[in-house]
Amino acid sequence: MSPRTNTAAVPSTWQLGDLTVNRVGFGAMRLTGTAPFGNGVPRDREQSIGVLRRAVELGVNHIDTAAFYFSATSSANELINRALAPYPDDLVITTKVWPGRGPSGEWWWATPAQLRGQVEENLRQLGRDYLDVVNLRVPPSRRTGSIGEHLGVLAELREAGLIRHLGISNVTSEQLAEALAITPVVCVQNPYGIGASNEDRALLRLCGELGIAFVPFFAIAGSGREADPVARDSEAVDAVARAHGVSPAQVRLAWTLHQGPHVLAIPGTGDLGHLAQNVAAGALRLTDEEMTRLTSLRSADA
């Protein structure tokens, strides 16, 4: 008897508030450089524009970006504007605030009073009258503290019509509870992938119970996270990839999407071939045995 494949009722879309998005989206970080947050060697502008246009042609209607994704010669928001405006009616652009970067690339973190300026900067760069979704990206140093003051400002901007929906990023379950007491939250964007901790898995399940989208970043990178996608995949990931005739990155994306119908993917790339593979991973179905094997991996193995 052949292994049973997880094919039952696997939805291809999810709701971000009143916005319907395909579960495989696109992360714009790598469009402006190869290093994390676009600090590396700038990519060819026309190539990046071509990747964005091809992503939409392949059915991507959820793009994740930020004003602080920029290199010496380009910014992700500007590239999105150049490639896709006037925007398709169904395109959802998600951005994030709280972190910022100065003209020379130096990092800073916004005070609550500075958040409006960050929102307006995204509006200008994207050429939008309002932002579809804004994530409050919590600094690592604040993951045990309150996010209420910052989120309250964004809630006011949502009421003013500058933001349509709010999300939170890099948070704990406790911070999610605090956020929900302040304003509706349509998504949680946290690091997640094969080898995730029990705490991370619990937060993913909680989001599913609450009907909130869970949007992993570093889903392909695994334990490497900011350092770059893992240079050497575990034998378990490699074996599953060989069995399906796909890349290890596609296996990692498929495993992530199998975690629940509320889980979205936002893999980023500046390469047309990798883009096609990432989108195709949404249709990859793993067997129960493969899922069990991959889920049993921990970060040291992943």
- 8 A C-beta contact, residue 174 and residue 201: no
For residue 93, give the amino acid letter: I
Phi, psi of 110 (to 5 degrees): -70, 145
Joined together, the tokens standing for residue 9 give 């009722």
For residue 114, give the amino acid letter: Q
Tokens 């509706």 correspond to 184
Short-list 263, 194, 256, 254, CA closest to 230:
194
Instruction: Determine whether 69 is an active site residue.
Output: yes
| Alpha helices in 9-144, H assignment, sequence order | 45-57, 76-84, 115-126
Which residue out of 69, 87, 130, 192 is catalytically annotated?
69
266 vs 28: CA distance, rounded Å: 9
Short-list 107, 35, 34, CA closest to 67:
107
Q: Which of the residues are catalytic? A: 69
